[in-house]
Amino acid sequence: MSPKAHYTIAVFAGDGIGHEIMEPCIDLIAAAIAKTGAPNLVFDRLAGGAAAYRDLGHALPKESMQQARAADAILLAAMGDPSIRYPDGTEITPQIELRFALGLYAGLRPIRAIPGVPLPLTDPRAKEIDFVLVRESTEGLFASYGKGIVENDSVAKETLEITRETSEKLFHSTFKLAMQRQKTHGKARVTCVDKANVFSAFAFFRKIFDEVAGDYEIRADHAYVDAMAMWLISRPWEYDVLVTENMFGDILSDQAAALIGGMGYAPSADIGDEQAVFQPCHGSAPDIAGKGLANPTAMFLSGAMMLEWIGQRHQDLAITEAAHLIRKAVDHAFAQGQLITTELGGDAGTEAVTNAVMGSLSKQA
C-alpha cells in the first residue's frame, strides 16, 4: 500500500487506568508525528469494555465494531473490571472478541530490557534481553472461548484446536519477523514452543512449523513449554523469536514481562491479514485507577508498534521514523536510572513518566 494523506485510528480507552494512559499516549504520538512531518492521525474514540457493558448493555457495541473495522489501526488501553461480569460469572474481555472478529492470529509480545529500568535478574547479560514471543491468538485452547461446557456440575470441558491454515499463516509471519529483526539485531532464530512429546495437536503444530521453516534460511529449533519456562529465567538473552500456541503464549508472555520490570513495560500487538490491535499487556488495574500511579510506558511502546506497522504496511517512512523516535525517547528517559516507577518501588507515576518521555522526545533532532 502507498502512503495516505491521513490515517484513522480507532481508540478504545476502555476501563480502569485506560483513560489515564491513553491520552498521554495520543499526545506522545502526535508530538512524534509532528517531528517527522508524517501524515496526521485522526483518533476516533470508541466505546468498549466493562463500563460500556454496564452502561450500554454491550461490551463491544455494533457501532464501535464497525468503526474499528474501517480504521487503519486500533489502539487499545485496557478493558475489564472484576466488579462487572457477565451473567455466567466470567469477566468482560471484548479485547479477545476483537481478535476473533478481525482474525488477528499473530500476537506479538516484544520483551526488551530498557536501559535504566531495574531488572530482577542480576546476571549482566540480562541487559541484553531482546526477543519477541509470537502467540497464536485465535486457536489453541482459546478456540473454546465462550464455548466451554459444565456437565451436571461434575465435569467441565474445553477443547484445544489447531488448524493448518492458521498455523501456516502464523509461522510465515513469524519467520518474516525474524528476517526483519536480522537486519537490526544481527541474529535470526525462531524457536517453536510446544508440548509435542505428549499431545498430538502439538505434534501437528510442530510438523507445520518444520514445513514452513524449510522456506526460510533462518535457524529454526524447538523447545517444550515446560523447559522454555525454565530457560526464560536462566538464559533469556539467548532467544530471538519464539512462537507458540495461545494458552502457552498467554502464560509465557506474562512470565517474560517480569524479566524487563513487569507488565508496565510490556507492549503488544495482535495482527491479522488486514487489521491489527495494539495494547499494553497489562490489565485495567482498577485498584490504582484515578490515583496517577499507572505506568504508561507499555502504552507508549504499543503506540510505537502501531506506527511501525502502519509505516511498513503503507511504505510510509515518516510514520516509521515517528515510531523510532518514541522508542528512543523512552530509552533516554529511563537510561540514567533515576526514573523509577511506582510498581518497582519508586515514586514516578503517570505524569512523571509522561513528562520525562515527552521531554526526551522534544530534545531529539
Q: Mean pLDDT across the stretch 131-146?
A: 91
| HSE-CB of 323 using CA atoms within 13 angstroms | 17
The chain-wide mean pLDDT, for the chain, equals 95
Contact predicate 354/28, CB 8 Å: yes
Digit-coded pLDDT (tens) for 191-208: 999 999 999 999 999 999
pLDDT at 251: 97
CB atoms within 10 A of CB 338: 11
Last residue of a domain, one of 259, 277, 306: 259
What is the structure's pLDDT at 185? 83
**Where is mean pLDDT largest: 89-103, 131-145, 250-264?**
250-264
User: Average pLDDT, stretch 66-77?
Assistant: 97
113 is a domain residue? no
Model confidence at 2, in pLDDT bands (50, 70, 90)? confident
Q: Residue 110 falls within a domain, yes or no?
A: no
Mean pLDDT is lowest, of 91-100, 295-304, 347-356, for 91-100
Residue 1's pLDDT is 84
User: Do 298 and 327 touch, CB atoms closer than 8 A?
Assistant: no
Q: Which residues pair with 280 in a beta bridge?
A: 267
| 233 and 281 share one domain | no
- Do residue 125 and residue 250 come from a single domain? yes
Same domain for 136 and 245?
yes
Residues 152 and 254 in one domain: yes
pLDDT band (50, 70, 90) for residue 19? very high
Reference 276, options 137, 80, 81; nearest CA is 137
C-alpha cell at 340: 523509577
3-state secondary structure of 130: strand
How many structural domains does the chain have? 2
pLDDT of 183: 87
Query: Average pLDDT in the 114-127 region?
Result: 97
Range of the domain at 307: 1-105+267-365
Contacts of 41 (CB under 8 A, 6+ apart): 6, 7, 8, 9, 29, 30, 33
φ, ψ of residue 42 to 5 degrees: the values are: -100, 115
Q: Which three cell numbers stand for residue 11?
A: 481508540
Give the cell for residue 130. 531482546
- Give the model's pLDDT for residue 91: 87
Give the whole-angstrom CA distance, residue 257 versus residue 263.
Answer: 6
Average confidence (pLDDT) over 329-341: 96
Do 125 and 255 belong together in one domain?
Answer: yes
Residue 88: what pLDDT?
83
> Predicted confidence band at 15 (pLDDT cuts at 50, 70, 90)?
very high
As a whole number of Å, the end-to-end CA separation of the chain is 28
Q: Within this chain, do residues 128 and 235 fall inside the same structural domain, yes or no?
A: yes
Give the alpha-carbon dihedral of 351, 353, 359, 362, to 10 degrees: -100
C-beta separation of 16 from 285 below 8 A: yes
Mean of pLDDT values over 288-299: 97
The predicted model scores a pTM of 0.94
Q: Verify that 292 and 363 share a domain, yes or no.
A: yes
Query: In angstroms, rounded to a whole number, what is the distance separating the alpha carbons of residues 351 and 294?
Result: 9
Domain for residue 81, yes or no?
yes
Q: Distance of CA 2 to CAs 6, 156, 311, 317, Å? A: 12, 50, 10, 11
Contacts of 265 (CB under 8 A, 6+ apart): 114, 117, 257, 295, 297, 298, 301
127 and 218 part of one domain: yes
Q: Which pLDDT band, with edges at 50, 70 and 90, does 221 fall under?
A: very high
pLDDT at 143: 83
- Rounded to the nearest 10 degrees, the angle between the axes of helix 246-258 and helix 225-234 is 10
Check if the beta carbon of residue 106 is closer than 8 Å to that of residue 215.
no
Tell me the C-alpha distance between 83 and 46, whole Å: 22
Q: Rounded to the nearest 10 degrees, how much is the dihedral formed by the CA atoms of 91, 92, 95, 96?
A: 60
- Cα 252 to chain centroid, rounded: 13
Which CATH number covers residue 61?
3.40.718.10
Which pLDDT score, from 0 to 100, does residue 343 have?
A: 95
95 with 5, same domain: the answer is: yes
111 within domain boundaries: no
Give CA 49 to chain center in angstroms: 18
66 lies in the same domain as 184: no
Closest CA to 249 of 237, 232, 274: 232
Give the three cell numbers for residue 35.
517531528
The answer, yes or no, to whether residue 365 has pLDDT greater than 70, is no
Across 219-241, average pLDDT: 97
What is residue 146's predicted lDDT score, i.e. its pLDDT? 77
